[in-house]
Structure 1
Amino acid sequence: MTVSRLLVMGPQGAGKGTQAALLAEWLGVPAISTGDIFRANIKGKTELGVLAQSYTARGELVPDSVTNDMVRSRLSEPDARAGFILDGYPRNAAQVGALDEILADLAEPLQAVVVLTADRDELLARIAKRAQIEGREDDTPEAIARRLDIYEAETAPLLAAYRERGLLAEVDGLGTVEQVAARVRDAVQAK
């Protein structure tokens, strides 16, 4: 069985977006990032974008109801039928339940969860560098610290649930992009 429906998880700055894109290319399925969708809406000043920005500017996360509906819609699109890589979702227990319902409705079970691990100081340095390069106003030191704290409190505990289901693969997120990508591919092939 080829693994084609999976999550890439980890704290901000761990390289989820980069690795999800590489993994999606390797598997021939779309990488679906809630963060990219929110940023596109913010840039386009859509109703959702204005609402999302009101949360992200304070270093808070967008409410589950908005995120769940967006993910349900995106996973029902034709290009996701062959599989998908979800990046940035789920981030808490309620979203895990929502994702389970979405996938049950689609009759497409989750096959693997890859979590990228990295030291907090390394994460802070990576995000600060990204903020300088990309000019992202949502990457202030305060917002970064808040999002890492939220990850530790809400998202990290989900890993135990996925471990119990036999879906979790932990991958060291430190090293070159190519080194991490090779470790991610090896972890997915082992599933």
Structure 2
Amino acid sequence: MSKAEALSKTDSRRFACLFDAGISEFGSKPFEAASLNMIIKNAGISKGSFYHWFTDKLDLYHWIARQIAIDKQRYVIDPVESKHLDFFEHMEVLLADSLAFSQTDRKVYDFWRRLIAEDTITREKLTAPLSFEGQLSIERLIYHAIDTGELTHRFKAEHIVKIISTVLLSIDTLITDEMDTDEIKALVHTCITMIRDGLSGT
């Protein structure tokens, strides 16, 4: 647990203000153009306090992204994990609910849309910690599906894992501002159906 994550539990009001100021700034501008000074000012904290909690703007960004991920874990991932679904059902519900979750709060939605609009190098820098965790989680599910026969043994397991995880972790780049929840679910269903038809073990 980082210093910021530990302190946020004891000084929740100031961290809530910082979260709100940060997600608003990062959701409205490219990362490089986002003003750390403006975030600090809008949060009503001192620079001394900020640098006591965080090392720089990127550290703050990672903290905000992690807070969103924690909420998603609680409201989306954990409920799905408690259901008895096969691999394909699991992936479809998880993806659809995750994408729908990002649309429930306009600031969260703008934050992720701004992230998707970044160039590849910047996007990888901003998501490095979470992407690694997400990839490991998805890889475990895929390897389990291969072991249980839900996914074919016709191809190398490493190739199947790489292809499916790449598709699933990148699907949010296909979402447009004009798409509603039903259209997002239809896109996810198409994606999972294509994987099922090509890689099902049955």
TM > 0.5: no
TM-score by length of 2: 0.31
The structure, 1 or 2, with the larger RCO (C-alpha pairs under 8 Å, 6+ apart) is: 1
Q: Name the TM-score, length of structure 1 as normaliser.
A: 0.32
Higher helix share: 2
**Greater radius of gyration (CA):** 2
Q: Which has the higher strand share?
A: 1
